[in-house]
Chain A
Amino acid sequence: MIRLHRVTKRFAGGTEALRNVSLRVDAGALAFLTGPSGAGKSTLLRLIARLERPTRGRIMVNGRDLGTLARHQEPQFRRDIGLVFQDHRLLFDRPVHANVALPLEILGYRRTEARKRVRAALDKVGLLQKENAQPQTLSAGEQQRVGIARAIVHRPALLLADEPTGNLDPELSREIIQLFLDFNRVGMTALIASHNLGLISTFARPVLHLENGSLEARHVTQPRSTA
């Protein structure tokens, strides 16, 4: 699903966020990406979602070589990816259900079908009763779960989460990670960045450790057991 080959990312100004990173995550796998802040976790996720381009190296996602992906092909490419942000990035000018429906609207779903899927996604994150609420009336944990519902509502093949538990208390954090495990169980490949080593060590899943922009070459396969 994800393959990086000797990827380096240097930002304007000379900061090297990633150095010679190689990695492979198979379809259907779930892996955690850890490392201190500033280690390059976000950059790595942004490269995979093609929100950034690498300075050097090759990235393959979902069978596509991002080096040959034209700008007009980017929207189509991103439709197979769900992204969860630490700051959830909800739109405060519309209610919860409209936030979650955004990817479906972009994909051109019919209203009735979209409504069904939005309700299913909200049900999965336990917020069905809040579908008509305004996002600003929700707690931080609820907002994060709305962000997750939005990321998975169109059933993307790949889920990328950048510090999804960053602002949450331990119990909520566990629930959120458990959600990702549930999605993974139905076939969604997932890469979850988190600096909370204590939390992720309690889940028996592969951990990729990023430090100073470097990562040992790693290969993450399908889980042996389903948690």
Chain B
Amino acid sequence: MKDGSDRAGHLEAWLYNHSEAARRSLWRRAHAPGQTLILVAVLGFILALPAYLWLLLDNARALSAGVDHEPRIALYLDLEGGETLADAVARIDALPGVAEVAAIEADDALAAYRESLPDPALLDWLEDNPLPAIIEVLPLERSPEALAAMEQQLATLLPEATVISDHEWVRQLEALHGAGLRVLLVVSALLALGITLILAVASAAELRERHEEIAISRITGATDRFLRRPSLYGGLLLGVGGGLFSLILLGIVVMMTRSPVEEAALVFGVPFAFAGPQARIGLMLLGAGLVLGWVGARLGSAAALRD
């Protein structure tokens, strides 16, 4: 540095240099409003689409939790060997990993069934109660693996009982959710790649427009780092714009689809409130916009400065 080597001076010069680059990129963006708006809009659409899909998946999961959030295992017992239902309940309760055990005597089950019939006398011709006693087990852990293990444990403990669990259903739901997330990830990656290339092309075109300034600066000893700095700021600027635009877009789309989704859930008998985007999604969209804007500008300027 020719004008003194003090640290504060360095910092001031560095800050000045960066603020100049930022100011110039802002000026350039402001003087090409049409192009800027199109790029911001494209970035916004591309960010909003996966964010909305993610929101749907998230809500679907919440919805399924509302339908049945406690995967129970049911045991149907034919109590013949002298064991009482209370004995069986006590033995199950002693197992590790059991949160809750509920029992329904066979007679209670029949009584409840009789209640539900329009003509209870219909059951009078039965000699024996054909219904089994039922024990419902709620495991502590609810992962499909834990459910399967518990099911196995119960079958060993009470070999004469029929064990039926809804963990298959949970597993199917988990699989669907996982597949959805994977599809979302791949689609997002492809979209990100696409928008990065679009931003790179735009950034390269902008640098080529500055070719005279770049030629003169190069002759005066400018490094590539110096020359691409305004483009990088331009990329960040587009990123912020795109992130904000995508948030607005997401808000509008959620507003437009909220009531039909909630009504559909009601038809299935599930009261459900469609959750809108949280602050976390907002931050993620802004962050994604910034990263994509920067990477696009970096790729574009590298290509343009190599020419």
Task: Determine whether the beta carbon of A103 is less than 8 Å from that of B3.
Answer: no
Task: Determine whether the beta carbon of A107 is less than 8 Å from that of B2.
Answer: yes
Give, as a whole number of angstroms, the nearest-CB distance from A66 to chain B: 15
Chain A residues lying within 8 Å of B10, measured Cβ to Cβ, are 108
Q: How far is the CA of A83 from the CA of B220 in the complex (A)?
A: 8
Chain A residues lying within 8 Å of B9, measured Cβ to Cβ, are 110
Chain B residue with minimal CB distance to A103?
B220
Task: Determine whether the beta carbon of A51 is less than 8 Å from that of B219.
Answer: yes
Chain B residues lying within 8 Å of A78, measured Cβ to Cβ, are 218-221
Task: Determine whether the beta carbon of B17 is less than 8 Å from that of A108.
Answer: yes
In the complex, whether A75 has a CB less than 8 A from a CB of chain B is yes
In the complex, whether A109 has a CB less than 8 A from a CB of chain B is yes
Chain B residue with minimal CB distance to A80?
B221
Task: Determine whether the beta carbon of B20 is less than 8 Å from that of A105.
Answer: yes
Contact of B16 among A89, A106, A110 (CB under 8 A): A110
Task: Determine whether the beta carbon of A108 is less than 8 Å from that of B222.
Answer: no
Task: Determine whether the beta carbon of B217 is less than 8 Å from that of A106.
Answer: yes
Q: How far is the CA of A83 from the CA of B215 in the complex (A)?
A: 12
Q: How far is the CA of A222 from the CA of B221 in the complex (A)?
A: 27
In the complex, whether A77 has a CB less than 8 A from a CB of chain B is yes
Interface size on A, residues (CB 8 A): 26
Chain A residues lying within 8 Å of B14, measured Cβ to Cβ, are 108
What is the interface residue range for chain B against chain A?
A: 20 to 34
Among A110, A111, A154, which residue has the most Cβ atoms of chain B within 10 A?
A: A110
Give, as a whole number of angstroms, the nearest-CB distance from A111 to chain B: 5
In the complex, whether A148 has a CB less than 8 A from a CB of chain B is no
At the interface, is chain B mostly helix, strand, loop or mixed? helix
In the complex, whether B212 has a CB less than 8 A from a CB of chain A is yes
Contact of A109 among B13, B215, B217, B221 (CB under 8 A): B13
- Given the contacts A108-B1, A108-B13, A110-B12, A102 and B221 also touching, CB distance less than 8 Å: no
Q: How far is the CA of A150 from the CA of B20 in the complex (A)?
A: 18
In the complex, whether B223 has a CB less than 8 A from a CB of chain A is yes
Give, as a whole number of angstroms, the nearest-CB distance from B73 to chain A: 69
Chain B residues lying within 8 Å of A102, measured Cβ to Cβ, are 216-217, 220
Chain B residue with minimal CB distance to A110?
B13
In the complex, whether B272 has a CB less than 8 A from a CB of chain A is no
In the complex, whether A79 has a CB less than 8 A from a CB of chain B is yes
In the complex, whether A202 has a CB less than 8 A from a CB of chain B is no
Chain A residues lying within 8 Å of B222, measured Cβ to Cβ, are 75, 106
- Given the contacts A89-B212, A91-B216, A113-B3, A106 and B221 also touching, CB distance less than 8 Å: yes
Chain A residues lying within 8 Å of B213, measured Cβ to Cβ, are 91, 93
Give, as a whole number of angstroms, the nearest-CB distance from A103 to chain B: 4
Could you give, for residues 194-226 of chain B, a 1 whenever the CB lies within 8 Å of some chain A CB and a 0 otherwise? 000000000000000000110111111111001
Taking A78-B221, A89-B216, A154-B220 as known contacts, 12 extra A-B pairs with beta carbons closer than 8 A to each other, sorted by chain A number, are A75-B223, A77-B221, A79-B220, A81-B221, A89-B212, A91-B216, A103-B220, A106-B222, A107-B2, A108-B14, A109-B13, A111-B16
- Show 8 residue pairs from A and B whose CB-CB distance is below 8 angstroms, ordered by the A residue: A49-B219, A76-B221, A78-B220, A103-B220, A105-B20, A106-B221, A108-B1, A108-B17
